Amino acid sequence: MTVVGASLPTAVADTVCDRMDRATWHVARPDTGASLLTPWADEATKAAAYGFTDPQGTPFRSSVTPRVGLVAVDRMFSSRINDFQWVVDGSTAQREALAAGYADQGPGFYASGLRVPGCTRAIASFVRQGRHRYAPAAEAPALLAAGWVRVRTAFHAPLIEPSTAPPADPVFTFAVMPDTQNEVNSTDIRFPKRVDWLVTNRALLDLRWVLHSGDLQNWDTPAHEQFANMSRWIETLEANGLPFLAVPGNHDTAAVCPGGSACPNANTNVTVRDTRTWNAYYPPYRFGLQGVYETGKSDNGWRTFSAGGVGWLVLDLELWPRTGVIDWAKNVVATHPHHNVIVVTHSFLTSKGAISASNGGYGATAPTTLWAALDDFPNVVMFFSGHVGQAFNTSATAVDGHKVAMFLQTMHAPYTNPVRLVTVDTRARTIHTWVRSNVDRSYPVGQQDVTRVYPYTATISLMRWVR
């Protein structure tokens, strides 16, 4: 019987460690969180065809050939639930997998069945709803918070340390657009002028991406004029390679009819989830989403970035999200422990900067519920919302004591085109933000190129980033 977990003598540790020389890829399914491990890069890429589309990098090293001191780690597969297990050949875990109907596909790679002092770390197996995930034992707290249960140490392998490349510039900027529902007419210059300014000043700001916290449009019509206008203006960002991500507000759904009020004789609890027009104009691929809650819909999705020498994940969530969406969001956060998560949802802060306890009367949950679901994750660092009030900058303290910055930008500006700029300094641990506009339509035609900085400038210090 193979025993996993004891230690090798120090005298042979270095030799065994050197024999594990192949970076091993980890790809996960965004819907279930299940793992696929492989030492072959092309297999990791091709796994997308089977739903494994969430790359987790190369967390550890293994061997592709049998070597003295290593054991075969067999790949077990259940076609019934599309789930893999990686178990040491001859182990109790292998027998349990066979009894559960998993087929043994042979060695996936070779690793150590024993702890190698000064070299290896335990790679643990976790289970949730019958699916299996594999991660270094140090990542257990985040996975446990997302509902995974640790089963056992699966095998031991040396972790791949971060690159020793020269440090990246720690300072960068991103932009967040407020509710732009009053800028939808084809003759209104404010939205295209805002976009042009962002593109023109991209290099100066080191602008990495542009977000929108909802109510991009005001309402829909049979000809979808407002969606067509906004979609066309956003193309300027796309043509210049500036990533753009947006979440639907209530005015972007079938809950709001022409005039801006709730549609008569309609169940708003249902129509607020009717985003067919939204997704016709803004499908997931347009935002570059790497994972979504519902196939073909961008209402809830995520995308990763690298900036300031650390990883970032923008998590877009629907208005007053359903409990299933919140559970999905927890899994996304938990399975990206080395990404700093920026949550964007249309309603979160009140006009006075408190976390709202209201679901608007027709949402599924209140923002306080969303915060309670995410406040124990060490990698959630920012929230952005709109819907009410003007603008606000504040912060809250997560369960582990780290600071989470929270920003409101709604504005509903009648004449100007405000945009929030957010400059992050990962070395100084600060976020500096300001709101500015470059058009004022209250001036005569030909004199409307007016710059204004709003009284919402702030610097939030003592932030903490995960790496």
143 in the same domain as 175: no
175 in the same domain as 67: no
Burial (Cβ within 10 Å: 0-12, 13-18, ≥19) of residue 170: middle
334 in the same domain as 208: yes
211 in the same domain as 136: no
Domain with 244 in it: 171-460
Domain assignment present for residue 15? The answer is yes
76 in the same domain as 45: yes
Here the tokens at position 233 are 């203006």
196 in the same domain as 125: no
Q: How many CB atoms lie within 10 A of CB 79?
A: 9
Given 158, 184, 206, the domain boundary residue is 158
Domain assignment present for residue 164? The answer is no
Which amino acid, one-letter code, is at 97? Answer: A
pLDDT in the model for residue 253: 98
The DSSP secondary-structure symbol of 271 reads: H
Domain assignment present for residue 465? The answer is no
Angle at 61 between CA 55 and CA 63, to 5 degrees: 115
242 in the same domain as 151: no
**Residue numbers of the chain with a pLDDT score lower than 50:** 1-3, 7-12, 163
Number of domains the chain is built from: 2
Domain assignment present for residue 3? The answer is no
Q: What is the pTM of this model?
A: 0.69
216 in the same domain as 362: yes
Length of the chain: 467
Q: Residue 420 pairs with which residues in a beta bridge?
A: 176, 435
Site of tokens 């660092």: 381
Q: How many CB atoms lie within 10 A of CB 415?
A: 15
Q: Quick one: how far is CA 127 from the chain centroid?
A: 22
Domain assignment present for residue 4? The answer is no
Q: How many CB atoms lie within 10 A of CB 166?
A: 6
What CATH number does residue 270 fall under? 3.60.21.10
193 in the same domain as 95: no
Domain assignment present for residue 64? The answer is yes
418 vs 393: CA distance, rounded Å: 15
pLDDT in the model for residue 4: 52
181 in the same domain as 136: no
166 vs 153: CA distance, rounded Å: 35
202 vs 200: CA distance, rounded Å: 6
DSSP-derived 3-state class of residue 449: coil
Here the tokens at position 451 are 């710059």
211 in the same domain as 86: no
Q: Express the helix, strand and coil content of the chain in percent, nearest 5 each.
A: 25, 35, 45
Q: What is the pLDDT of residues 446-463, one digit of tens each?
A: 999 999 999 999 999 999
Domain assignment present for residue 360? The answer is yes
Residue ranges with strand state E in 82-221: 83-88, 103-111, 120-128, 131-136, 149-158, 171-177, 207-212
Do the Cβ atoms of 40 and 347 come closer than 8 Å? no
Domain assignment present for residue 82? The answer is yes
28 vs 17: CA distance, rounded Å: 26
180 in the same domain as 147: no
Sign, CA dihedral 303-308-311-314, equals negative
Q: Quick one: how far is CA 112 from the chain centroid?
A: 33
